[in-house]
Amino acid sequence: MSIQYLEKERVFCLNTPGSTYLMGIAAQEGFLGHLYYGTKLEDITGAVELFRTQESPYVPEKNERDRGSFMDKFPFEYSSHGVGDFRESSIRVRTMGGQTGTSLTYVKHEIYGGKRKLEGLPATFGQEDEVTTLVITCRDEATGLEVELSYSVFEKLDVITRSARIINGGLETLMLEKAMSGCLDMDGGEFDVLTLHGSWARERHMERKPLGHGEFAVSTLRGESSHQEHPFLGLLSKGADQVQGEVYGFHFVYSGNFVAKAQMSQFGQIRVVMGINPEDFCWKLEPGESFQTPEMVMVYSAEGIGKMSRTLHDLYRGHLIRSPWLHKKRPILINNWEATYFNFDADKIVSIAEESAKLGIEMLVLDDGWFGNRFDDNRALGDWWVNEDKIKGGMGELVAKVNALGMKFGLWFEPEMISPESELYVKHPDWALQIPGRKPCRCRNQYVLDITRREVRDAILEQVFQILHSANIEYVKWDMNRPLTDIGSAALPADRQGEVYHRYVLGMYEMQERLLQEFPNLLLENCSGGGGRFDPGMLYYSPQIWCSDDTDAIERLVIQEGTSLLYPLCCMGAHVSVCPNHTVGRSTPFATRGMTALTGTFGYELDVTKLSEEDKAAVPKQVRAYHACNDLIREGNYYRIASFWENRLYDCYQVVDDKKEKALVFFTQVLGEPAMHSRRLKLQGLKENAKYKLSLIDLEGEELLKDTGRVLGGSVLMHAGLQVERPWGDFQGRLFFLEEV
């Protein structure tokens, strides 16, 4: 069994295929403490000694005069607040008397097969034969507060997920001011911190730096997981790379304000906490009420960063994404946004669809500008009715024309927003988040709807459902183009205003859940000004997320590398766009743009009627390559071979099928170099003793595969390398196919 309780030692042992997680109940007072997390231990005899409670400062019963020293050094499994542990706390609760001290001790535990849902929250899932769960109940005797710490261990993956349910078991109201999802205390060592940072059109750029004494944190207060920071933190042993070294990965299944901290104490101990950002958070808990934290995912790899990435990919494909589209090819779409912006009518959309259908594109997505009085981005959000001055004949007639061409139809919405110039705002100005007496902050000339309120959610979904029922709409792009400000709800009392941020996220989750219940076969793609809400929580509702508004093929190399550090390739919305690129002004070859977009869901973001004849002729060849490669890209195992983020010259990654019989190798020379005749690429994930035929996938030629005449051994490819001739010029891509012979 993957979870055991050793009663004599009072130790919990959690085993995955390659890791062990140990915690125990300290003698006397019953503090729950962490013992070990790392490479799997075959025998844990003597592990309880890792508490070091038999040495100074000893447990309080032996040395009450130095209780504070014990509290500030003991490796707590869920750290306390205000009673002697001066490191980062996991929980803070304020009583009606104004005090905030909390100290938790073990009460009981339960072990069961399977995994229960988290109420109102996205979370990983698994059957009884796939996952085992441990729930440990701890209690603070002074307040009656109880915390249920949940640990779920996946049988075939080196993954442990954690969350906490906080219950007011006392007789008076408590104000929950901080509630982390998990805490990990480790005995120390030299580590680097790996995080993802960015901005609009520059999401998920990796950053690595040494962890020193003090505190390192990534966080957001934007109400969304954000372009700027990502709810991930990695600890890497010194020298760890893609294939070797210890890696601890922590990922948060949540789409709102978060914080992830790594702290090195005065004694060199390391504490990691992750959870909802406590700033502007306060949840009122009446006696008997509870609060459920979102889920924290922990991955351990003794085989470098690459193993962590593949573990997360397998977890999310197998135990988080629920969509019926998960294991299907997504239709190749064309989106009209960069083609027309707001300047279109039904005839223009049909003309794009007609040309697209001839080239093999399978779905047309109508983006912003089809509704209300929406002729620019200053108006009409919230007025979700068809503008028949633009869409003459209505949505049903337009969709029917597109369907008649053999294409599917998709539609853009931004359901969480409201424009000051909209009929909805005139009727319901109090439906926007706002602080009484303050001038509200506009972003993109729009406000944020107060979807903490049921009546607001109902009104918006009623409009959205009416549109979707009116025509054969098979795809929805759900956008969110601004952060949250003016955090105030007219529907909540003063002592619950600290709940707005979290209630907003819960409201958004509920809206998406209701959308999918109403339209169970809908292909939903989430978006937030590009990749501003690309997080595990959103994958629970949509199998793909728009990766970035920056569609430049070279910028996307770094963005997609950072994204694929954590997420399977099938999640990344990726399109071919025109040049000069609308975001950065760079011009890259059409074939390179196609190859970069093939890594993700694949589609087009352009006016196909205005393409050159040469580029237009290349579209069916890219479509052919998508159909030939997508099963492997979507389901295969991802290996990072070289990083443009690191070397600034070239990029290379590889996708291998489970049987190790087929592989795709993506190589992009970003900058040409003088006197560089070829480059050697050491591949991964192949069979040592197999032989592989090497072909070139041609995105421009008449034949898809070009036989290079080369057959190479798996051990040669992995240890000596694949010799790739230098392409001529900048921004040149090569896509290789390996097949066992």
Q: Kindly give, in sequence order, each residue whose CB lies less than 8 Å from that of residue 192, ignoring residues fewer than 6 positions away.
A: 208, 209, 210, 211, 235, 236, 237, 238, 240
Same domain, 269 and 360: no
- Active-site residue identified among 140, 185, 549, 615: 549
Q: What is the per-residue pLDDT for 551?
A: 97
Over residues 64-78, the mean pLDDT reads 85
Q: What is the per-residue pLDDT for 515?
A: 98
pLDDT digits (tens, 9 = 90+) for 199-209: 999 999 999 99
Q: What is the C-alpha separation between 571 and 602, in angstroms, rounded? A: 11
634 in a structural domain: no
Q: What is the per-residue pLDDT for 440?
A: 93
pLDDT digits (tens, 9 = 90+) for 337-381: 999 999 999 999 999 999 999 999 999 999 999 999 999 999 999
| CATH number for 235 | 2.70.98.60
- Please say if the pLDDT value at position 54 is more than 70: no
Q: How confident is the model at residue 118 (pLDDT cuts 50, 70, 90)?
A: very high
> CA nearest 731: which of 649, 624, 613?
649
Same domain, 288 and 395: no
Q: What is the per-residue pLDDT for 126?
A: 97
- Which ranges of 440-540 does DSSP label H, i.e. alpha helix? 454-469, 500-518, 536-539
Q: How confident is the model at residue 58 (pLDDT cuts 50, 70, 90)?
A: low
**How many independent structural domains does the chain possess?**
3
pLDDT digits (tens, 9 = 90+) for 163-186: 999 999 999 999 999 999 999 999
Same domain, 401 and 476: yes
Say how many CA atoms lie within 13 Å of 425 toward its Cβ.
Answer: 21
Cis preceding-peptide flag for 324 (omega within 30 of 0): no
Question: Which residue bears the tokens 């051990």?
Answer: 715
624 in a structural domain: no
SS (H, E, C) 588-620: CCHHHHHHHHHCCCCEEECCHHHCCHHHHHHHH
pLDDT digits (tens, 9 = 90+) for 467-482: 999 999 999 999 999 9
- Please say if the pLDDT value at position 442 is more than 80: yes
Same domain, 654 and 542: no
- Please say if the pLDDT value at position 434 is more than 80: yes
> CA nearest 139: which of 96, 196, 93?
93
pLDDT digits (tens, 9 = 90+) for 447-457: 999 999 999 99
379 in a structural domain: yes
Over residues 57-83, the mean pLDDT reads 81
pTM, two decimal places = 0.97
592 in a structural domain: no
- Catalytic residue status for 479: yes
| CATH number for 420 | 3.20.20.70
Domain that holds residue 341: 333-546
pLDDT digits (tens, 9 = 90+) for 392-413: 999 999 999 999 999 999 999 9
Over residues 647-657, the mean pLDDT reads 96
- Active-site residue identified among 85, 450, 479, 552: 479
Which segments of 101-253 are extended strands (E)? 105-113, 131-140, 145-154, 159-168, 174-186, 191-197, 205-210, 214-220, 232-237, 247-253
Same domain, 400 and 297: no
Q: What is the per-residue pLDDT for 59?
A: 64
Same domain, 310 and 337: no
620 in a structural domain: no
Please say which residue of 546, 580, 595 terminates a domain: 546
Q: What is the per-residue pLDDT for 53?
A: 67
Same domain, 100 and 75: yes
- Please say if the pLDDT value at position 46 is more than 90: no
106 in a structural domain: yes
Please say which residue of 289, 319, 349 terminates a domain: 319
Helix (H, G, I), strand (E, B) or coil at 430: helix
Q: What is the per-residue pLDDT for 301?
A: 98
Same domain, 504 and 367: yes
Q: For residue 341, is it left (φ>0), alpha (ψ between -120 and 50) or beta?
A: left
Same domain, 273 and 358: no
Q: Kindly give, in sequence order, each residue whose CB lies less than 8 Å from that of residue 424, ignoring residues fewer than 6 positions away.
A: 382, 383, 418, 431, 459
Same domain, 479 and 429: yes
- Catalytic residue status for 430: no
Mean pLDDT of the chain: 96
- Please say if the pLDDT value at position 68 is more than 80: no
CB 287 within 8 A of CB 274: no
Please say which residue of 284, 319, 354 terminates a domain: 319
Phi, psi of 600, rounded to the nearest 5 degrees? -105, -140
Question: Which residue bears the tokens 């890594």?
Answer: 599
Q: How confident is the model at residue 498 (pLDDT cuts 50, 70, 90)?
A: very high
Over residues 637-651, the mean pLDDT reads 96
CA-only gyration radius of the chain, Å: 27
Q: What is the per-residue pLDDT for 730?
A: 94
- Please say if the pLDDT value at position 311 is more than 80: yes
135 in a structural domain: yes
Same domain, 478 and 367: yes
- Please say if the pLDDT value at position 31 is more than 80: yes
Q: Give, in degrees to the nearest 5, the angle at Cα 417 between 363 and 409.
A: 10
| CATH number for 723 | 2.60.40.1180
83 in a structural domain: yes
pLDDT digits (tens, 9 = 90+) for 508-554: 999 999 999 999 999 999 999 999 999 999 999 999 999 999 999 99
| Buried-exposed string 347-375: b where 16+ CB fall within 10 A, e elsewhere | ebbbebbbbbbebbbbbbbbbbbbbbebe
Same domain, 115 and 84: yes
Q: What is the C-alpha separation between 53 and 57, in angstroms, rounded? A: 8
